[in-house]
Structure 1
Amino acid sequence: MRLIYLLVSFFLTRSTLAQPIPIRQQIDALFNPALPKPQVLLIGTFHFAGEQVDANTTPANLRVDILSPTRQTQLEEVLNQIARFKPTKIAIEASPNSKNYIDSVYSAYRAGRFQGDKRVRVDDELYQIGFKLANRLGHTELFPIDAQSFRIRFSPADSLTMFTKYEHQSDASFAYWDKQYTTYSKLQDSLKYNSSVIDYLRFLNADETQSRSIGRWLVTTKKGTNREPIGADGFISRYYNRNLRIYANIQRLVTSSSDRILVLYGNTHLYILKHLLKASPEFDLADTLNYLN
């Protein structure tokens, strides 16, 4: 009887050992290798220098004075929180063509000889977060990764004339959502002014806020016709293309699987960048709110 038991146990053990790894596990193993991947932390920001640098100019009475003692204390909390990520590289919203200039003024900053200029203002986020954090961590450089979208003609049908043909195309939703988003922008300005810096950054980096950031574009993607889809083409060739180029610049920063890349960028870019980094097999994306809470 004992012999029968041992034989049954032997064959059951062999059968268990011989079982193939389930296909789902094999699939997961392809994209989750044991080797580490570079880590990326995305921090969406507002423009500290009064948001006077682009179309989203903030009214003077609601501009945050980031240099005030109160805001500087709040900013120190932000720096302490983000520093926990221990980045090995800090990527910034500036043109790669400006790398030599950024290196020179950052070097002067580290030596105590730079107090801002027209290109890097003392009250903007590059100086207040980028320079301060990089210096605290002992970094010798920062990495500009900005890009502009392409401006090419796909075919004769995609000419400027074709685009302007639909410039005044009417749709009730255009006017409705334009009004909604205009109000939304004004409420954001008020929220920013009345919140601490870290609380407002938490708001900006919430999934819902970042989803809304592209909503104004998505309302207009139906502009044109089935044969001349200028709204969709405009979204791809301008908004999506630019952010895809920025993502490619992040890829080019990687020199080691142990890289930890902090990306400081205007928050309206974050929805697409997050979408791209989540889908990428090359990176692990850190949870931003874990570093702001």
Structure 2
Amino acid sequence: MKKLLLAVLLLAGTCLSPVLAQQGKTGGKDDRAQVMLLGTFHFAYPNLDMVKTEKKDQLDINSSESQRDIARITSQMARFKPTKIAVEVRAEKQAKLDSLYQAYLQGRHELGVNEEYQLGFRLAKQLGHTRVYAIDTWGNLDAYQKPGTSEFEVRDDIKERMEKFWTYMQSVSKARAEAEKKQAGHTPRTLYKTIQYMNQPEAIRKSHEHYFRDAFQYEETAQDYTGVDWYSATWFNRNLRIFRNIQRITESPSDRILVIYGAGHVALLEQAVDSSPTHRLVPAHTLLK
């Protein structure tokens, strides 16, 4: 059994696509596809995350100032010379994204306020790209999902425990949001300055730090890993799957992939890209001057 397990682990380490396997042969930096991760906030403010943004603190994406900032950001990202642009849209919605992008190119679609449109579509058109890539996905919820349900519904045997955990998550997230507001002092920020700040190494580190506080440490006994297991299945697993989708759209060592994503994802995606033998990380902050 031990020999079989060892063989499986060794095989797993060699199962690369033909293109990526070819990339790994020379082992030099120049034979790796380059990836730039541009962290953003969600321009449409869907407020689906635990920390909400109040209306009075939201930036007007359609204002002349914000539109100038968007033009400035796309101009700076163009200096990376991306061959592909990937956005935070579910991978199974690629056909719909293709349809919207083609309509936009033909002048039949007015851009929505979402960052995948305002940044992704604009820059892709500017660079003459034929498509924008959808690479988003969700984490592995199989351990929590009630069998036979299409929408997420937690299993009966853990429902009470998970409801207690989610109530705790909401309370600590609200408290953290209020504390951050007081610390920030409600200073108005432009869209450009916000994106510029989000992509600084220290801001990326601080954003990632939150995933190891509060709810991550939730437990009812010393043998309880409710918080750890939830974040492992949802957040950490999700970002590994997103990186797998980045690998899937990588077709050549000469690819230069610009990934436009929620800033909270950047730390884990950076780690994945930087650890990959087939990709090379190019930090976005170097262009946001």
TM-score range, shorter chain: 0.7 to 0.9
2:121 is the alignment partner of 1:127: no
Candidates 58, 79, 83, aligned match of 2:78: 83
Root-mean-square deviation (CA, aligned residues, Å) is: 2.9
2:58 is the alignment partner of 1:63: yes
Q: Which residue of 1 aligns with 2:191?
A: 197
Query: 5+ residue gaps in structure 1?
Result: 1-28, 117-121
Counterpart of 2:122 in 1: which secondary structure? helix
What does residue range 194-273 of structure 1 map to in structure 2 within 5 Å?
A: 194-219=188-213, 220-224=215-219, 225-273=221-269
Q: Which residue of 2 aligns with 1:42?
A: 37
Residue 52 of structure 1 deviates from its aligned partner by 2.2
Q: 2:138, 2:181 → 1: CA distance?
A: 24
- CA 78–87 in structure 1, closer or farther in 2 if over 3 Å, else same: same
Q: 1:260, 1:237 → 2: CA distance?
A: 30
Q: 1:199, 1:143 → 2: CA distance?
A: 26
Q: 1:257, 1:113 → 2: CA distance?
A: 35
Counterpart of 2:176 in 1: which secondary structure? helix
- CA 144–177 in structure 1, closer or farther in 2 if over 3 Å, else same: closer
Q: 2:234, 2:185 → 1: CA distance?
A: 25
Larger Rg: 1
- CA 221–150 in structure 1, closer or farther in 2 if over 3 Å, else same: same
Q: 1:31, 1:264 → 2: CA distance?
A: 29
What does residue range 144-155 of structure 1 map to in structure 2 within 5 Å?
A: 144-153=134-143
Q: 1:266, 1:202 → 2: CA distance?
A: 13
Contact 1:94 1:146 in 2 (8 A): yes
TM-score by length of 2: 0.78
TM-score by length of 1: 0.77
- CA 39–114 in structure 1, closer or farther in 2 if over 3 Å, else same: same
Q: Which shows bigger deviation, 176-185 or 252-261?
A: 176-185
Query: 5+ residue gaps in structure 2?
Result: 1-23, 145-153
Q: C-alpha deviations, 1:259-288, integer Å up to 9, x for none?
A: 000000011111111111111111110021
Identical aligned residues as a percent: 31
- CA 180–32 in structure 1, closer or farther in 2 if over 3 Å, else same: same
Contact 2:59 2:191 in 1 (8 A): no
Contact 2:88 2:261 in 1 (8 A): yes
Residue 180 of structure 1 deviates from its aligned partner by 3.4
Letter in 1 for 2:133: F
- CA 160–202 in structure 1, closer or farther in 2 if over 3 Å, else same: farther
Residue 73 of structure 1 deviates from its aligned partner by 1.4
Q: 1:237, 1:285 → 2: CA distance?
A: 25
How many residue pairs get aligned? The number is: 252
Q: 1:61, 1:178 → 2: CA distance?
A: 17
